[in-house]
């Protein structure tokens, strides 16, 4: 996600990397100022109808900060080293149980990061907050319903009114699907790398951008991972101290950890965990938000140039989103996964639920991540804000998948009972999808 920077022209191999990176700050009044640099964004040339560098963001982070300012409320600064972190998480309704930890130097914050001082990420359905002890800023990334991923720097200086600024330069050099070479759209990023004792990458060949189709045994290199997962293996918690470890890496020995106490001191962090369930959810959420962004940008461009989009083109545009919504390419789990932070319980209780108590947030965690594999992101403002023709077409295709037996061969992981349950949950919680 907002973790890595890809080499231009190669979307899988990583060079250094860039998380929710964000820069120094400006006063609240300057947050939405348009600058000459913003006007020169590739997006403003290739997707002028979106207005990425010109339109004031309407993401939930921006809206919450405006609301706090309008109400005269202030965030609390904690002198223990976490600064505004805890207060900001509370203001954004982000639960600390969502914390995941990355120790590879895959960010503009790399001078602060090491296996001894990992970067922590916290998230809800549409906002991500990055914290590194010692850094003068928090990093914020948010899914804007119109603009897609937007990035901010949030001051960690002990001020009454902490400053923050939208970042549209350095972040987007990497947080772009084609690394700003043209034709790309903003994106969040997740990566798996092999890192040494100082956090630097020791192998480009074993580094890749990841999504839900990435086999679990290729994920989370450069991350700490807590939780149990039986025989399932991943690359988390592996720190290369000798180059010979690259050819004899024992991933079974680094997994199934309920504590990280022997690897890192986490007293400076809100939680001593980097929850495996949170990582699975994060991977899913980032994938679908990136695909929604592409659908939004491309459909708006076509509507502006043609006035309409034919059904065949809409099929092509919505196919990646449809597959992500139904988790069609998700790598299977081969054993039961259990977290350690309470994230599962927090996430599941958020609902919404049908009259049988079922929710699209219900987990499976035995053979796949979710029990009812239609994404909870169907409730997101990013879906609601899609151009009308694209949204109606997407909804019609979702309806066909859950109601038409003819669609079953395309989604073999959805048996009749599962499709029926998904349809009933949608009817109770977002009926417009099935109209």
Ramachandran angles phi, psi of 144, nearest 5° = -80, 135
What are 67-87's pLDDT values in tens digits? 999 999 999 999 899 999 999
167-211 tens-digit pLDDT:
887 788 888 888 767 789 999 999 999 999 999 999 877 889 999
Query: Residue 85 gets which letter from DSSP?
Result: H
- pLDDT tens for 291-339 read 999 999 999 999 999 999 999 999 999 999 999 999 999 999 999 999 9
What percent of the chain has a predicted confidence (pLDDT) above 70?
91
Q: Where are the domains of the chain?
A: 295-434
DSSP 23-63: -----GGGTT---HHHHT-HHHHH-TTT-TTTSPP-SHHHH
Q: Sorting pLDDT into bands at 50, 70 and 90, what band is 10?
A: very low
End-to-end CA distance of the chain: 34
The predicted-structure confidence for 139-173, as pLDDT tens digits, reads as follows 999 999 999 999 999 999 998 788 899 988 778 88
Average pLDDT, the chain: 89
pTM: 0.90
């Amino acid at each position: 996600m907002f973790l890595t920077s890809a080499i231009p022209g190669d979307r899988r191999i990583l060079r250094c990397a860039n998380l929710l990176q964000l820069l120094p700050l400006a006063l609240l009044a300057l947050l939405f100022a348009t600058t000459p640099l913003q006007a020169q964004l590739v997006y403003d040339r290739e997707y002028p109808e979106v207005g990425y560098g010109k339109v004031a963001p309407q993401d939930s982070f921006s809206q919450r900060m405006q609301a706090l300012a309008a109400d005269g409320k202030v965030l609390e600064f904690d002198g223990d080293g976490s600064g505004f972190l805890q207060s900001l998480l509370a203001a954004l309704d982000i639960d600390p149980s969502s914390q995941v930890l990355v120790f590879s130097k895959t960010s503009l914050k790399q001078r602060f990061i090491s296996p001894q001082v990992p970067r922590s990420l916290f998230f809800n359905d549409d906002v991500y907050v990055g914290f590194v002890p010692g850094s003068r800023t928090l990093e914020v990334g948010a899914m804007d319903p119109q603009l897609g991923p937007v990035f901010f720097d949030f001051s960690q200086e002990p001020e009454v009114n902490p400053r923050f600024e939208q970042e549209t330069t350095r972040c987007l050099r990497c947080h772009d699907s084609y690394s700003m070479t043209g034709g790309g759209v903003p994106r969040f990023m997740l990566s798996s790398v092999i890192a040494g004792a100082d956090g630097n990458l020791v192998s480009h060949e074993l580094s890749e951008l990841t999504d839900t189709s990435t086999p679990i045994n290729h994920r989370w290199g450069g991350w700490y991972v807590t939780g149990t997962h039986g025989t399932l293996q991943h690359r988390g918690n592996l720190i290369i101290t000798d180059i010979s470890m690259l050819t004899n890496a024992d991933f079974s020995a680094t997994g199934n950890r309920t504590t990280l106490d022997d690897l890192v001191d986490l007293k400076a962090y809100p939680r001593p965990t980097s929850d495996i369930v949170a990582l699975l959810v994060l991977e899913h959420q980032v994938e679908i938000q990136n695909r929604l962004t592409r659908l939004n940008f491309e459909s708006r461009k076509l509507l502006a140039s043609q006035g309409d989009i034919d059904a065949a083109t809409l099929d092509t545009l919505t196919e990646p989103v449809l597959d992500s919504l139904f988790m069609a390419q998700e790598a299977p789990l081969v054993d039961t996964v259990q977290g350690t932070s309470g994230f599962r319980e927090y996430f599941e209780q958020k609902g919404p639920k049908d009259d049988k108590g079922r929710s699209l947030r219900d987990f499976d965690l035995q053979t796949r991540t979710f029990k009812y594999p239609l994404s909870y992101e169907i409730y997101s403002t990013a879906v609601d804000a899609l151009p009308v023709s694209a949204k109606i077409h997407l909804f019609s295709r979702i309806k066909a998948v859950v109601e038409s037996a003819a669609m079953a061969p395309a989604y073999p992981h959805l048996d009749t009972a599962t499709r029926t349950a998904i349809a009933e949950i949608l009817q109770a919680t977002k009926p417009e999808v099935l109209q």
